[in-house]
Every structure is written in structure tokens, then in C-alpha cells.
Amino acid sequence: MEKTNKSEYFEAVGRRKTSVARVRLFKEKNSLPNIFVNQKPYQQYFPTLELKKIAEEGLGAVRAEGAYRVSAKISGGGIHSQAEALRHGISRALLKVDAENRKSLKSLGYLKRDPRMKERRKFGLKKARKAPQWAKR
């Protein structure tokens, strides 16, 4: 009796600002993008059309919209940052599937992590750089 492992997947981590997306790509044929974020369909998780489009862009760049089922766990940051972290994670996982995808993903900028995040507050200041009002007397 031969044992088949149905849960074979490619895993990658995508990040943007303080958002982290742990993405798993499962090989599965389907006509529509089959993406689940925190155990919800991505259409339900991301409220606007723009965010849904950002989430799909990684698969669309290599024309693999229906070829994979995507399962992602996302935490931290805001909703827009989470969508871009998901795109980054999907793109990195697609590299593990096939190294040929690198050229198209890199030219679109989907493999670059966007590191910008809020600067920490320093003591003696009101915000990261804003100082209290100075008075001569």
C-alpha cells in the first residue's frame, strides 16, 4: 500500500512594515484564485477591490492564478500593509516552486521587502523627532 502525502506545500514568509505573512502554496487546479487569509477567503478578509488586487498580483505575475491554493496567516500592521506582505510571501513561495519565476517577479518589485516602519519615540521628545516648544524665558 502506497502512502501519498496530500499536504505537500511550499512555504515562505512575506513582510512589509510590521506585517508578517506566513504563506503556504498547495498544488491544486482551480479556475479562480483560491486564497485563504487567517482561515477566511481573501475576498472577505480584504474589504476593498484595491487590496484584493494586491493580494492576487503575485500569482498573476507568473500566470498561476488557478494553479495553487494559498493559505496564509497574517499578523501585525494595517490592512494595506498585510495585503502587500501577502503578495511578498506568495512571490517568495513561487520562487521555491520554480526559479524561472524570478525575472518576472523581480521586475515588478514583488520580491523586495518594504522595510519602512514607524520610528520609535525618544525620551525628552513628544514624538520620534518632535521636540517640546522652546521658551526663552
What tens digit of pLDDT does each residue of 98-130 get? 888 899 999 999 999 888 889 999 999 999 999
| Residue 106 to residue 91: CA distance in whole angstroms | 9
Residue (of 55, 58, 61) closest to 74 by Cα position: 55
pLDDT, tens digit, 9 for 90 and up, residues 26-37: 887 776 668 899
User: What local confidence, expressed as pLDDT, does residue 32 receive?
Assistant: 66
Distances (CA, A) of 51 to 22, 121, 125: 18, 30, 35
User: What local confidence, expressed as pLDDT, does residue 1 receive?
Assistant: 44
All domains in the chain, ordered by first residue: 9-108 (3.30.230.10)
pLDDT, tens digit, 9 for 90 and up, residues 46-90: 999 999 999 988 888 888 877 888 999 999 999 999 999 999 999
Residues with Cβ within 8 Å of residue 42, at least 6 apart in sequence: 33, 35, 36, 52, 55, 86
What single letter denotes the amino acid at residue 88? H
pTM: 0.84
* Rg, the chain, Cα only: 19
| Beta pairing, strands 34-37 & 68-75 | parallel
User: What local confidence, expressed as pLDDT, does residue 98 receive?
Assistant: 87
